[in-house]
Chain A
Amino acid sequence: MVEIPAAAAAPHLESQEEYSDHAVLHPKPRLREKALVKSQRPTPTDDADMIARAERAVDALAPSFGKWMAQSAATLLESVEGFGEAGPQSPEEVEALHLLAQDVRGQAKQFGYTVAAQMATGLCDHLAHGEVDVPMVVVRRYAEAIASVVRAEVKDAPNDIARELVRQLGVLSAEFRSRRAAEKAQAAAAEAAKDNPGETE
């Protein structure tokens, strides 16, 4: 009879102790080996598959994008309306409004609402420095325009009305900015004249 070595007979065992009335089997510890297989970095091919799968999974969420965008735009508009004509009264309140505008901007970019993203970027610029640098009526125009294009599911620029809306908001912003700059320059000149009365005479 051919004798088979213990290791070949039972490859899953690390050792085996034989006693007169029983045997103790010591299995090979394989838990670590199994765990390592699971945590190995995927290969580039796996990556490509995973990326494709991930893009498909996000595409499946696309029907919800409009709802999420509409909620964020509505929250922004509510907040703007809540501040009324007086607007935010402290840097903290301005920052709270700025964050809402940033949320809309971030989501709009991620979900492909290019027009809303452009508008939100313009609004963020007016709120980015701890004060609102235009009258609240302009801020409200931005918030209303964002809510409108989101509600109308306008995503890209080819929509003529949306493009015109973005242009008008830009003009409005530029107008108020130049007016504000002129006021500041005038105030600075008046201050200088007060400090050095002889120079202006």
Chain B
Amino acid sequence: MSFDRSKPVLVVDDTYAIVRIVRTLLNAQGVLDVEGAGSGPEAIRKLSQKEYGLVVCDYYMTPMSGADLKLIMDGRPEWAGIPFLLMTTNDAGAKAKLDRPGAPILIQKPFTAEALLAAMDRAVSAVAA
């Protein structure tokens, strides 16, 4: 299962290097329309302006975490159906907070292109289920 490739992907991370890596991985997989956002509020602004096919978001960000952004998206019917993938490091704190039903699909750094592709599919399946 794949996300809607006719729509852009939004990569949310306050670290430019990670946005760049994810964009490069997606571009090489034929996903050419990839946009970056440096924070949760910027992501919300972008989501309000355009329809995205997938959101790939870092967990640790300020002023809102990736999990907070997902909660906000779940509260808006027009965003709740967008597949969402959360990037974390292997972190007990994040795991504990995300151990709940309906929690977003996680991908742990470091990730390979193959792992990213598989996680994207899982994120899409989670929305479709």
* A134: interface (CB < 8 Å): no
A65→B6 CA distance, assembly (Å) = 31
Q: Which of A41, A47, A72, A128 contacts B93 (CB 8 A)?
A: A128
- Chain B CB within 8 A of A61 CB: yes
Docked Cα-Cα span, A50 to B14, in Å, equals: 27
Q: Which residue of chain A has the shortest Cβ distance to B17 in the bound complex?
A: A68
* A-B pair number, CB within 8 angstroms: 92
Residue from A53, A110, A124 in contact with B110 in the complex, judged by beta carbons closer than 8 Å: A110
Check A103/B14 contact, CB under 8 A, given A53-B29, A55-B112, A56-B28: yes
Q: Is A173 an interface residue (CB 8 A)?
A: no
**8 Å CB contact of B25 from A57, A65, A99, A124:** A57
Whether A107 pairs with B15 at a CB distance below 8 angstroms is yes
Chain A at the B interface: mostly helix, strand, loop or mixed? helix
Seed contacts A57-B27, A110-B18; 6 additional CB < 8 Å A-B pairs: A50-B28, A50-B29, A53-B28, A57-B24, A64-B20, A96-B62
* Residues on B facing A (Cβ under 8 Å): 1-2, 4-6, 14-18, 20-21, 24-30, 58, 60-62, 87, 89, 91, 93, 109-114, 116-117
